[in-house]
Amino acid sequence: SPVREVLFFPSRVTCVESLLAEEEEAAAAATPCACLLPHGESALGRLLARVLSARRSLDLCVFAFSNPQLGRAVCLLHQRGVHVRVVTDTDYMALKGSRIGELRRAGIQVRHDQDSGYMHHKFAIIDKKMLITGSLNWTTQAIQNNRENLLVVEDRDCVNLFLAEFERIWEDYNPT
């Protein structure tokens, strides 16, 4: 099915360090991690693995972004040469814990809404081919405490409709 995966939250808290380990650290990461968190599967781990599978592009359109692990994943992709673009909501961007400043300092292109309404989408498009969308904001509160869902979709028509929506928003929020 083009619906590749469904993730429900809250996610149990697990260690995701091995997913976030850079290649130079891969040997180190292969040795068992000594931290006190469980090291099995989790919804956050599954989401991180999908995001980190990007090889060419990540187009991210998310109302609220404060989760540190997802912030590290997006910065890692940028360091690896993946073309990352981020759209977010102005109101949330200013709140404590937002990752948006960190992304900008890393050199990632970020645009934010100029509208009176909220930019309330929560979707990511990986390599123009895979859509991750649902109710989940990229916040630790949502991941660990809320009832949330995400779909991973590889239907071409559906992904193209979301890509077109991303491009519309990207242009609408062009500050120049």
Using CA atoms, how far apart are residues 78 and 157, in angstroms rounded to an integer? 27
Q: Is 120 a catalytic residue?
A: yes
Instruction: Give the one entry of its own copies, Zn ion, none that residue 124 binds, where binding means its C-beta sits below a cut-off of 5 to 8 angstroms depending on kind.
Output: none
DSSP bridge partners of 3: 153
User: CB–CB of 84/74 below 8 Å?
Assistant: yes
Give the interface with Zn ion as residue ranges (CB under 5 A). 15, 33, 35
Strands 130-134 and 122-126: antiparallel
Please identify, using beta-carbon distances, which residue of 102 and 154 lies nearer to its own copies: 154
State yes or no: residue 63 binds its own copies (CB under 8 A). yes
Tell me how many residues contact its own copies (CB under 8 A): 38
**CA–CA distance, 23 with 74 (Å, rounded to integer):** 16
Among residues 121, 153, 166, 145, the alpha carbon closest in space to that of 44 is found at: 145
Q: Which of 113, 125, 130, 132 binds its own copies (CB under 8 A)?
A: 113
Which of the choices Zn ion, its own copies, none does residue 33 contact, using the CB cut-off of 5 to 8 A by kind?
Zn ion
On whether the CB atoms of residues 73 and 154 are closer than 8 A, the answer is no
Binding site for its own copies (CB under 8 A): 1-3, 6, 8, 10, 63, 113, 115-123, 133-136, 141-142, 144-149, 151, 153, 155, 157-158, 161-162, 165, 169
Residues noted as catalytic: 120, 122, 127
